[in-house]
Amino acid sequence: MDTIALKLLCLVLSLTALLSVCHAAETMDGYQEALVALKSGKLEQALQEVDAYIVKSSAPKGFELKGRILHAKGKYSEAEIFYFSALEKDPELVSPHFYLGEASFKRKAWSEAIQYYRVHISKNKAAKESILKTIYCYLISGNFPEAARWLTALDPVDENSPAYYFARAATAFSENKMPEYTELLRQSRTLYGNDVFNTYEPDLLFALKALPKNRE
């Protein structure tokens, strides 16, 4: 091969590599834009961005993200379809099991939620959010011994997550121990701050409304 032909070949290969990098960056930007829009509460924009991303890339994370966006819009059954699609594309993924649990939780399908959360926990032993939601579901289902057993899996001195305090608070509320319930929430707000507290409180209140009445 002469020198000119060799240079042309190198140029073609370089351009091909550059185009591949640009395409990867473009699709990554689309995913990031969808994620930022979701985090900002711009759900319609997030949906448009993720749909565009899915057209360009069949990566499982795009399908999972679309499920999360639909979940944020309150379309829980539709969200589940995309979580399952993500798992079909990559059965080794862990996070879709958590999001399936979240969708079932919002649909008040407590037994289903427990199953998904427990799968998530089996794949990620430090899944504090799944443990907390499992406790909520057992309390709602009236299975208080299981709720108490799972409570022991949470760390009361965890500096990063208030899951233990919220699980204890839900248990106290279910036992009609209102002073203890109030104190646990006060401690949680003090230790973790308002932003974290406000992230956890809505699901707690959602769960408390579903608790069985007249527990002895």
What band does 12 get if pLDDT is binned at 50, 70 and 90?
very low
Token representation of residue 72:
């944020």
Residue 147 near residue 215 (C-beta atoms within 8 A):
no
Pair 43, 69: CB distance under 8 Å:
yes
Q: Of 41, 65, 44, whose CA–CA distance to 53 is shortest? A: 65
Q: How many CA atoms lie within 13 A of 52 on its CB side?
A: 16
Task: Give the span between the Cα atoms of 48 and 64, in whole angstroms.
Answer: 15
Neighbours of 112 (CB within 10 A): 17
Query: Which band of pLDDT confidence, cut at 50, 70 and 90, is reported for residue 125?
Result: confident
pLDDT at 11: 46
Domains and CATH numbers, the chain: 23-93 (1.25.40.10), 107-216 (1.25.40)
Structure tokens at 194: 């308002």
Round to whole Å and give the CA distance between 94 and 49.
Answer: 24
Mean per-residue pLDDT over the chain, rounded: 89
Position 115 scores a pLDDT of 98
Chain segment 13-65, per-residue pLDDT in tens? 444 443 343 344 444 578 999 999 999 999 999 999 999 999 999 899 999 99
Residue 215: pLDDT band with limits 50, 70, 90:
low
Residue 116 · residue 100 · CB < 8 Å? yes
Q: Which residue has the higher pLDDT, 5 or 135?
A: 135
The 10s digit of each residue's pLDDT in 171-180 is 999 999 999 9
pLDDT value of residue 24? 43
Q: What pLDDT shows up at residue 21? A: 37
- C-alpha–C-alpha distance, residues 74 and 79, integer Å: 9
> Which H, E and C letters describe 128-181, residue by residue?
HHHHHHHHHHHHHHCCHHHHHHHHCCCCCCCCCCCHHHHHHHHHHHHCCCHHHH
Give residue 18's pLDDT: 39
What φ, ψ does residue 10 adopt, rounded to 5°? -65, -40
Instruction: Give the H/E segment covering residue 2.
Output: none
